[in-house]
A and B are shown apart, each in its own frame.
Chain A
């Protein structure tokens, strides 16, 4: 239980810090870089190294690459849904989570088959 409380607090602080930095920066497209900051990764990898060691965190970062590529695809889809389909931000970002899941697991499976 204590582990998850620590995870929650560490994750909350790191994510809020990056989000506030993004709020402060202009222009908006530059601030968007902080929307894809590795904030959850920093907290999680820190705890992973402490609890399970470097090789466990290394394994997590390897599959994080597939997640990051999926995030790129996700962001482009969100952009198109907002501009072309004229959806509001909440439905556009939530609907695109399906795209992220398909892309992330698709790339992860593909990388597994290639290695």
Chain B
């Protein structure tokens, strides 16, 4: 069974101004990329298509929600908040591989068909990101199994 699922609880936790902040940051990042491209050329502007401006807001909100949830349960929640934000960052590092595939696919396809470039690049991002996530998950479970069986082997060897 797939471990991926939808949870509506985070939408209930969200405040209206948090969505407004993300909307404004997304808009500002797009305007900023356009300004850089028009002043310094397409090549330098292209770098900023992968600017993690939104990630700062997302990670901060995740930490804040986690801390709020733990405080309601009578705990400080700072460690849990940091861990939740770190998990998000770990996912983003895999998403970056997907973003690299997006850029590569778009570059390869855009001269032949613009529509194919957008569809192909979006699919490349989705497939590569999800595949990287599943691969990491599999590797972690194999490592965990090895670690669990490791001490038993050494015990049997030296006992």
Contacts and interface: CB of A to CB of B under 8 A. Distances in A.
Is B truly associated with A?
yes
Interface residues of A, number: 83
A33 B59 contact: no
How would you classify the secondary structure of chain A's contact residues: helix, strand, loop or mixed?
helix
Given A16-B23, A33-B129, A33-B130, A38 B49 contact: yes
A89 to B, nearest CB: 4
Given A24-B10, A33-B130, A89-B85, A79 B90 contact: yes
Contact of B8 (A3, A24, A72, A89): A24
Interface residues of B, number: 82
Nearest to B95: A36
A8 B30 contact: yes
Given A15-B23, A28-B87, A90-B56, 20 more contacts: A11-B26, A14-B30, A16-B19, A16-B23, A27-B4, A29-B136, A33-B94, A38-B49, A40-B49, A40-B54, A48-B37, A49-B110, A54-B111, A60-B37, A61-B104, A62-B46, A64-B103, A78-B92, A89-B59, A100-B52
